[in-house]
Chain A
Amino acid sequence: MPTIYIDNKPYEVKAGKNLLETCLTLGLDLPYFCWHPALGSVGACRQCAITLFKDKEDTQGRIVMSCMEPVKEGACISVSNATAKAFRGQVIEWLMTNHPHDCPVCDEGGCCHLQDMTVMTGHNYRRYQYKKRTYLNQYLGPLLNHEMNRCIQCYRCVRFYKDYAGGEDLNVFAAHHHVYFGREKDGILQSPFSGNLVEVCPTGVFTDKTLKQHYTRKWDLTAAPSVCQHCSLGCNTTAGERYGKIRSITNRYNGAVNGYFLCDRGRFGYEFVNDENRITQPLIRNRVPEAVDEQSLMDHLKLLLTQSRTLIGIGSSRASVESNFALRQLVGSENFYQGVSLDEAALGKLIASILQSGAVHTPSLKEMEQADAVLVLGEDIWNTAPIMALSVRQAVMNSAAANALQQTSIAGWHDAAVRELVQDNKGFLANAGLTASPLDDISTCTLHATPHDIAVMGFAIAHAIHPGLPEVPQLNNELAAKAAQIAKALQQAKRPLIISGPSCYNEAMIKAAFDIAGALNTGERKAMLSYVLPACNSMTLAMMQAPSFEKSIDRINDNTVVIILEQDLYRSIPPAKANAFFNRCKNLIVLDSLHNGTTEKAQVLIPAATMAEADGTLINNEGRAQRYYQVFVPTTGMVKESWKWFWQMRSLQTSSGNGLELHPNDWLTKLEKTLPQFNGISRVSYPPEFRIHGQAIPREPHRYSGRTAMLANLAVSEPKPLQDNDSPLSFTMEGYPNRPPASLIPFFWAPGWNSIQSVNKYQQETGGALSGGDPGIRLLEQKTGTPTAYFTDIPEALPAPRNKWLLLPAYHIFGSDELSAYSAAIRELCPEPYIGLSTQDTAELGITDGKNITLVAEGEEYTYPLKIQEHLCNGIVLLPAGLPGMPALTWGSWATIAPSLKNNAV
């Protein structure tokens, strides 16, 4: 490790870094704007100037930009000398010449990097006394505000949006001091990662439009570490609350998972918590009134639960491990099901068993970014796991950069030079899907095909890599050629990554993905295999091997009590089937947070807490268990974590109500004892009694205001702070004032660093793991020496029935997820329902784009406008999955299509 001298003090530092990241890693305060740990250096803003001396004798030195200077053995620099400080102060004064100084009305105020850096450099009084230049702002859609006058031209927005995330519709226009960052004309930003501009922008040009609807300063938020509920990746988030409403979601850095970025579904999909449709009171149907108090509920439940009836529990892929396990304990393992279709449960079970075998390594998102060849087999990750698509993009870019840099002495952090060298070269990505994906733009090899063809191509790739595996009979030329090309590229890689998932409802595809990864695993080559799952906690139910509730139907009679946990079965199976199921349920208890088709069927409806009012654990697609923490205690109604309700029911059942409370960690300890595949999960968090120097971790920042006034309209005395018995977090400003352990960081804030850029102060090194290690406990580690049990059952091609189409789901980042679609902004971006067919099929049916057509599946008719899918192959009909108001269908079944009888009567 080289030694450098900063202000005459020696430091051992890491080679290969630039001086800015080195100084920040050492904990020194050095202001910057254009540099970003995920975006690298370009040297534009000139804010991070330091003095570099020739040697120890040199007293003059010269100004250099620390972000553009590599660490060199023996280098002597000064951060604090007068010349560099004066220059940094002047850079701020220049930047501020045209800044509107509108902090009091700016949404960024109080969490603004520009404010922080201005204070850090000491610039106070402006000497510029001329008119400021002004800009027109643009409408950028429902997610982001645009206020260009605040811009300090750091170029980070376009570098993130275009270079990092591959967006095309945000650009930089004009020149000199008229440089403008925006779209060519007003319109909705097209990238599903646009929300990151809120955090990438060092000031208030791009701000959260949803936050503006119920604006609160960062310092007034009660915040807690949370985990995104809107797909299976488990991105870490910070949820902030005031007055019982979630106000915003911001990124919670986790070096192994989401790093610095979230997708827009995750960032803006929080408003279900605040929805008017929330269930806040227990209901007992056919009582007058139906809403009951807790005692009446308990009395009723006691009757239901103790009259020696069979209990059937239906677990939820969007409820916590604790809630699912508590239900399983309540009903008994043999009576525990999950609320998804037979097919979905089977696919989940297959994926879990593959990963649990330990034969291959399933990577974190961070590891995926290091892949040097990627194959996506049939999963539409852009829409089902957006941040994974962003990671795959980084893999493609990073491997191209690694290739280009081999022959040069250019450092990887020198972003502009690296991009120049790389040009349009990309690392290897093969993307096989049903239809076009934005990932196709960066793919070396693209295949649009049926699930069967994608799967057999997968087996052909596995065979090409490992000739001992069976050959695919009668493979067509296109598939054979692509299989050969992909196999070759994967074999040339050191860290190949295979991605698949259940979204095509095709078991063979999942098996083929495993075979490829297994075949690639050699001593030299470490293959990575990643499966996307349908929901945020699908992995837990798959690991519990919970069968589909469809299997329970025959067991339900008039005496059975069915308990459904936080799942709308109408989203899992077609309405007719679901109705048939509910018709059998005479005693139905439903716990959920929002009214839906299933809650309407409940005889007893119990208000469940959302992630904002609950502590709980989720297991993401890589088997990483992560705890989310209650953000606030709802002041109205009787909302409670489902696991708490189940514990109460358990007490009723056993009449053991001795007041003993179970905390999340207690459930997890029990879970480990009951199901050893969850071993280690109890380490996911600290026990509730954990304290640092006797202090809990405060959810409120030290500048939280108004707590003596907030409830003064109800009572003038300040209420006693609420107690949190389930976690080491407190609901107050008081507590441990410094950096908490990584998994317990309620907000990022450091002295002098009020904005989210303060994450620097929480990391071991800039852009690296959080101090103390990134949160999460991985439960699915590869076990060395595990033999690879290949799948050899290559499916035969089944000819499509005459005039039938294979019915498959089309996923939409905005719309396919249940909870995020409650956010008005997200709903605005959801597509309208449609029926998608290939161009040729459309022509043969003689129907035109946009006209209504009718799909008949399992005897039910569904009429929607036709949307021609240019890249879809023939014989498939796509319907958007999970759109609000759209019924579930039996995906993977055969359907017929007819021009609508109601066709265009208009």
Chain B
Amino acid sequence: MERPLTINIHPGQPPLNLKEYESVGGYAAVRKAVTNLTPQEVQQLVQESNLKGRGGAGFNTGFKWSFVPMGPDAPTTKYLIANADEMEPGTFKDRLLLEGNPHQLIEGMIIAAYAIQANIAYVFLRWAYKKAAELITKGIQEAYAKGYLGKNILGSPFSLDMYLHTGVGRYMCGEETALLNALEGKRATPRAKPPFPQVSGLFGKPTIVNNVETFCCVPHIINNGAAWFKSLSYSEDGGTKLYGVSGKVKRPGAWELPMGITMRELIEEHAGGMKNGYRLKGVLPGGASTDFLTDKHLDIKLDFKSVSAAGSRLGTGTMIVMDDATCPVGFVHNLQHFFAQESCGWCTPCREGLPWVEKILWSIENGNGREEDMELLQMHTRLLGPGNTFCALAPGAMEPLQSAIKYFGDDFLTHIKEKKCPYQ
């Protein structure tokens, strides 16, 4: 089983420096791309590989790139940005890549920048990832020194400058347009689309924002081809995937596995199954903003399409397992507290709706719930839907709530009836 993204990551050891990275084939893909391939060919290759964005939306990466204006009439400044603002609760897979092999990210970004002919690249990094910040800074310096960054990379006409930008710790900055505003020094509120960032992004210039893991796939696609990349997967989505499991399992962690392994294999084999005395009650398969699945869904394949079909989203692929000793109301309240606090305050439904939801859940959890509260919660899950709010934050927040009501509705009612939390 190939695991190209993590093969050179050795927990407990420092990551490869540039020289070591080169010795295992690093930066060969950059050389190949800028000397042998046209930007269009790189785009084409990535599109064919069926690499889908690893930030959660699952959009074909090469296709996303194809919207960037190219050619002599295109703006002379274009930007490429790595979204390393990993703040989805329960998600820690990008951290592994950032701390484990920073050059892999830098290499992927150089190739992607070449593909869209961007001349400035930023790594937008979560504030709390201090170690990653150090490593990326060092990696960028090494890449400049070796001529992989800067003017005329490897003697080609292509030039690229890369910078590290650390955020201030707002979940909102993971939303690509809010990230752009934050990078411009503005409030981290999202932007309306259209215009899409590919056309008018950072400072009004064409911009591509991709997730860290997405960029890390790119060098391997260039080196080994689209067919190879697709062959890594058990599903129609190309490549491997970094899956993570947290919760009361025996071995919480993150693993690079073929895209489309089953949830059962991931939880039972890789994470070692539930801790003794605990039963699996529900799973958020792709982070806090995805719908619960239950033990009935253990055999679904973890790819974008299959998880959607089961009523949730693959999201970041890092799952939170909820056990039977944890109160679902308290669990969901905790999530809603996070989302309400992380709302940017731009649009009404999110700014005012989420704190209301949080307060209702808190009151139910504390035995003060009323039957009509269930109707209010349902109303919010309906009306904080996509399109009604300005961005995906509130709809994402509603996913665990609506599915918790669907699967664990009895728990809510017991709270209300007994006027206390039955789990305490």
Chain A contact residues, CB within 8 Å of chain B: 42-47, 49, 62-64, 68, 86-87, 90-91, 94-95, 97-98, 127-128, 130, 152-153, 155, 172, 174-179, 404, 408, 410, 414, 416-417, 420-423
In contact, A176 and B348 (Cβ under 8 angstroms): no
Nearest chain A CB to B167's CB is how many angstroms away? 13
Residues of B within 8 A of A417 (CB): 191-192, 194-195, 200
Q: Evaluate whether A63 and B192 lie within 8 angstroms (CB atoms) in the complex, with A153-B351, A178-B345, A421-B204 already known.
A: no
Residues of B within 8 A of A177 (CB): 340, 343, 345, 351-352, 355
Interface size on B, residues (CB 8 A): 37
Interface CB pairs A-B, < 8 A, 18:
A43-B192, A43-B347, A43-B390, A45-B348, A46-B347, A47-B348, A94-B349, A127-B376, A153-B351, A175-B187, A175-B343, A176-B355, A177-B352, A178-B345, A410-B200, A417-B200, A420-B195, A421-B204
In contact, B379 and A421 (Cβ under 8 angstroms): no
Residues of B within 8 A of A91 (CB): 348-349
B170 at the interface (CB under 8 A from A): yes
Nearest chain A CB to B189's CB is how many angstroms away? 8
In contact, B352 and A45 (Cβ under 8 angstroms): no
B346 at the interface (CB under 8 A from A): yes
In contact, A176 and B353 (Cβ under 8 angstroms): no
B383 at the interface (CB under 8 A from A): yes
In contact, B388 and A153 (Cβ under 8 angstroms): no
The contact string, 1 if C-beta is below 8 Å from chain A, for chain B 362-393, is 01000000001000100100010001111000
Nearest chain A CB to B236's CB is how many angstroms away? 28
The 3 closest A-B pairs by CB, nearest first: A94-B352, A179-B345, A176-B343
Residue picked from B187, B203, B204, B342, most chain A C-beta under 10 Å: B204
The residue from B195, B351, B389 contacting A179, defined by CB atoms under 8 A apart: B351
Chain B residue, CB-CB nearest to A172: B187
Determine the distance from Cα of A403 to Cα of B354 in the docked complex, in whole angstroms. 40
Chain A residue, CB-CB nearest to B344: A175
B6 at the interface (CB under 8 A from A): no
Residues of B within 8 A of A87 (CB): 383, 388
In contact, A422 and B204 (Cβ under 8 angstroms): yes
The contact string, 1 if C-beta is below 8 Å from chain A, for chain B 192-219, is 1011000110011000000000000000
B341 at the interface (CB under 8 A from A): yes
Nearest chain B CB to A584's CB is how many angstroms away? 66
The residue from A49, A97, A408, A414 contacting B388, defined by CB atoms under 8 A apart: A49
B19 at the interface (CB under 8 A from A): no
Residues of A within 8 A of B194 (CB): 410, 417
B356 at the interface (CB under 8 A from A): yes
Residues of B within 8 A of A42 (CB): 192
Residue picked from A95, A174, A177, A179, most chain B C-beta under 10 Å: A177
Q: Evaluate whether A153 and B348 lie within 8 angstroms (CB atoms) in the complex, with A127-B376, A130-B359, A416-B191 already known.
A: yes
Nearest chain B CB to A69's CB is how many angstroms away? 11
In contact, B388 and A63 (Cβ under 8 angstroms): yes
Q: Evaluate whether A46 and B187 lie within 8 angstroms (CB atoms) in the complex, with A130-B356, A177-B352, A414-B192 already known.
A: no
Residues of B within 8 A of A174 (CB): 345
In contact, A153 and B383 (Cβ under 8 angstroms): no
The residue from A94, A175, A404 contacting B353, defined by CB atoms under 8 A apart: A94
Residue picked from B170, B348, B352, B388, most chain A C-beta under 10 Å: B348
Determine the distance from Cα of A63 to Cα of B395 in the docked complex, in whole angstroms. 14
Residues of B within 8 A of A68 (CB): 192
Residues of A within 8 A of B352 (CB): 94-95, 97-98, 177
Residues of B within 8 A of A408 (CB): 195, 199-200
Chain A residue, CB-CB nearest to B353: A94
Residue picked from B195, B344, B346, B383, most chain A C-beta under 10 Å: B346
In contact, A128 and B200 (Cβ under 8 angstroms): no
In contact, A46 and B344 (Cβ under 8 angstroms): no
In contact, A176 and B340 (Cβ under 8 angstroms): yes
Of residues 321 through 349 on chain B, the ones whose CB sits less than 8 Å from some CB of chain A are: 340-349
Nearest chain A CB to B335's CB is how many angstroms away? 15
Determine the distance from Cα of A251 to Cα of B388 in the docked complex, in whole angstroms. 34
Determine the distance from Cα of A410 to Cα of B195 in the docked complex, in whole angstroms. 7
Determine the distance from Cα of A420 to Cα of B172 in the docked complex, in whole angstroms. 19
The contact string, 1 if C-beta is below 8 Å from chain A, for chain B 298-316, is 0000000000000000000
Determine the distance from Cα of A62 to Cα of B387 in the docked complex, in whole angstroms. 8
Residues of B within 8 A of A127 (CB): 372, 376
In contact, B203 and A423 (Cβ under 8 angstroms): yes
Residues of A within 8 A of B387 (CB): 62-64
Residues of B within 8 A of A153 (CB): 345, 348, 351
Nearest chain B CB to A174's CB is how many angstroms away? 7
Residues of A within 8 A of B203 (CB): 423
Nearest chain A CB to B365's CB is how many angstroms away? 14
Nearest chain A CB to B142's CB is how many angstroms away? 33
In contact, B200 and A90 (Cβ under 8 angstroms): no
Chain B residue, CB-CB nearest to A91: B348
Residues of B within 8 A of A416 (CB): 191-192
Nearest chain A CB to B366's CB is how many angstroms away? 12
Residues of B within 8 A of A94 (CB): 348-349, 351-353, 356
The residue from A46, A420, A421 contacting B349, defined by CB atoms under 8 A apart: A46
Residues of B within 8 A of A155 (CB): 346
Residues of A within 8 A of B204 (CB): 404, 420-423
Chain B residue, CB-CB nearest to A171: B187
Determine the distance from Cα of A95 to Cα of B390 in the docked complex, in whole angstroms. 15
Determine the distance from Cα of A43 to Cα of B389 in the docked complex, in whole angstroms. 9
In contact, B359 and A420 (Cβ under 8 angstroms): no
Chain B residue, CB-CB nearest to A158: B187
Nearest chain A CB to B372's CB is how many angstroms away? 8
In contact, B389 and A46 (Cβ under 8 angstroms): yes
Chain B residue, CB-CB nearest to A174: B345
Nearest chain B CB to A421's CB is how many angstroms away? 4
Chain A residue, CB-CB nearest to B355: A177
Chain A residue, CB-CB nearest to B73: A407
Nearest chain A CB to B412's CB is how many angstroms away? 17
Residues of B within 8 A of A63 (CB): 387-388
Determine the distance from Cα of A895 to Cα of B182 in the docked complex, in whole angstroms. 55
In contact, B390 and A46 (Cβ under 8 angstroms): yes
Determine the distance from Cα of A152 to Cα of B356 in the docked complex, in whole angstroms. 15
Residue picked from A45, A63, A417, A420, most chain B C-beta under 10 Å: A420
Determine the distance from Cα of A128 to Cα of B194 in the docked complex, in whole angstroms. 34
Determine the distance from Cα of A674 to Cα of B250 in the docked complex, in whole angstroms. 102
Chain B residue, CB-CB nearest to A155: B346
Determine the distance from Cα of A155 to Cα of B348 in the docked complex, in whole angstroms. 11
Nearest chain A CB to B357's CB is how many angstroms away? 11
Determine the distance from Cα of A242 to Cα of B22 in the docked complex, in whole angstroms. 84
Residues of B within 8 A of A45 (CB): 347-348
In contact, A44 and B346 (Cβ under 8 angstroms): yes
Residues of A within 8 A of B388 (CB): 46, 49, 63, 87
In contact, B170 and A175 (Cβ under 8 angstroms): yes
Determine the distance from Cα of A91 to Cα of B390 in the docked complex, in whole angstroms. 13
Nearest chain A CB to B376's CB is how many angstroms away? 6
Q: Evaluate whether A175 and B348 lie within 8 angstroms (CB atoms) in the complex, with A49-B388, A87-B383, A410-B200 already known.
A: no
Nearest chain B CB to A423's CB is how many angstroms away? 5
Determine the distance from Cα of A404 to Cα of B390 in the docked complex, in whole angstroms. 25
Determine the distance from Cα of A68 to Cα of B347 in the docked complex, in whole angstroms. 13
Determine the distance from Cα of A97 to Cα of B383 in the docked complex, in whole angstroms. 16
Nearest chain B CB to A271's CB is how many angstroms away? 38
Determine the distance from Cα of A206 to Cα of B25 in the docked complex, in whole angstroms. 64
In contact, B342 and A176 (Cβ under 8 angstroms): yes
The residue from A46, A95, A130, A176 contacting B345, defined by CB atoms under 8 A apart: A176
In contact, A420 and B200 (Cβ under 8 angstroms): yes
Determine the distance from Cα of A408 to Cα of B388 in the docked complex, in whole angstroms. 26
Determine the distance from Cα of A128 to Cα of B200 in the docked complex, in whole angstroms. 40
Residues of B within 8 A of A422 (CB): 204
Chain A residue, CB-CB nearest to B351: A177
Determine the distance from Cα of A175 to Cα of B342 in the docked complex, in whole angstroms. 8
Of residues 155 through 209 on chain B, the ones whose CB sits less than 8 Å from some CB of chain A are: 170, 172, 187, 191-192, 194-195, 199-200, 203-204
In contact, A44 and B348 (Cβ under 8 angstroms): yes
Residues of A within 8 A of B187 (CB): 172, 175
Residues of A within 8 A of B345 (CB): 153, 174-179
